[in-house]
Amino acid sequence: MGRSFVGVLCTVVAVTALVGCGSSSSTTSSSTPAPQTSVSSVDGAAFASGLAWFFTDSSSTTPAVLPAALPSCTLGKLGGSDAALVAGLTNAKSADTMPDASGIRVFRASATCDHGAVQALFLQEENLAQIGVTAADQTTCLGASVVDNIVGVDDTKVTSTGGEVVAAPMAAALETCVPIKQALTTILSDPKTGISAAQVDCIATAASKTLTWAKLLDKSGQQAVKDAVATAAASCKPS
C-alpha cells in the first residue's frame, strides 16, 4: 500500500545518529472521497494501471508487475468508489493519498483473488536483508503474516490516510517472525556506524529488552526509540 516498513524501521533507528539505512516516503495529505459510482463505469485498463501503482513502494518510479488475472478479479470484488480511486492512481506516491479504509478493501480483494501473488508483491518491494531477514522460513512467515494481518483489519474503523494503518499489522507479523535483536544487530552493524561487533551485540541485546516492533514502526514513538537505543549505547561504551 505504498509504504516500505523496512524504510520506516531504518529511518527510526537512524535518528539515533548511529546509522542511516534506506529511506521511506509517506504523506499525511488528505484525500477527497471519490463520488459514488458503479464498477461498470470504471475503465479496466486504468484500474489495472492504478492497481500496479497501489502495490508499488512510494519511493519507486516503476510500477509493480501484476499477474495478468489479478486486476480483473480484484475489480470484480470492489465497490465503485474504491475501484474509481484505484483507477485514478498515476504513480506510487498518489497511492499514499488514498483513504486507508479503501486501501484495506483493495488489498483484501486482491489477496482474496491471489494470496500468493499479493504476498510476493509485498516481499519484492521490501529489502528484508536490511533487517537481517535472509532465511527462507522467516521470509515466508513474514510475507504470509503481513498479508493475513492486513486482510483482517476492520476497514469500518479506519479513518487514517497515507498507509499508516498497515504499521500495526506489520508490527504483529514481525513480532511473530523476526526477533527484534536480529534486526537491530543488522542495522547497527552497518560499517558507517563505526561500532565494534562486541558493542553492536551489547547495544542490540540491551535495546531489544525494552523495544517492541510496534514501537519501532510507530512514527509518534520515534523519540522513545531514540532514547532506548541511546541508553543502550551509553551502557555499552568500552571501559
Of residues 154 and 226, the one with the higher pLDDT is: 154
Coil vs helix vs strand at 99: strand
Average pLDDT over residues 66-94: 94
- pLDDT higher than 90, residue 214: no
State how far the Cα of 41 lies from the Cα of 38, in Å rounded to an integer.
Answer: 6
pLDDT at residue 33, rounded to an integer: 45
Q: The pTM is what?
A: 0.78
Average pLDDT over residues 102-119: 95
Please report which residue ranges of the chain form alpha helices under DSSP H. 5-14, 44-54, 70-76, 80-87, 100-113, 115-124, 136-151, 167-177, 180-188, 197-208, 213-217, 222-235
- pLDDT higher than 60, residue 49: yes
- pLDDT above 90: percentage of residues in the chain: 40
The string of pLDDT tens digits covering residues 125-173 is 777 887 888 888 999 999 999 999 999 999 999 988 877 788 888 889 9
pLDDT at residue 38, rounded to an integer: 63
Question: At 63, which helix (H) or strand (E)?
Answer: none
Do 48 and 78 touch, CB atoms closer than 8 A? no
Of residues 20 and 102, the one with the higher pLDDT is: 102
Q: Which domain, by its residues, includes 140?
A: 5-235
pLDDT at residue 239, rounded to an integer: 61
Mean pLDDT of the chain: 81
Q: How many domains does the chain have?
A: 1
pLDDT at residue 2, rounded to an integer: 52
Average pLDDT over residues 66-75: 96
Given pLDDT bands bounded at 50, 70 and 90, which one contains residue 213? confident
Of residues 198 and 220, the one with the higher pLDDT is: 198
- pLDDT higher than 70, residue 5: no
Average pLDDT over residues 200-215: 90
pLDDT at residue 34, rounded to an integer: 42
Of residues 180 and 10, the one with the higher pLDDT is: 180
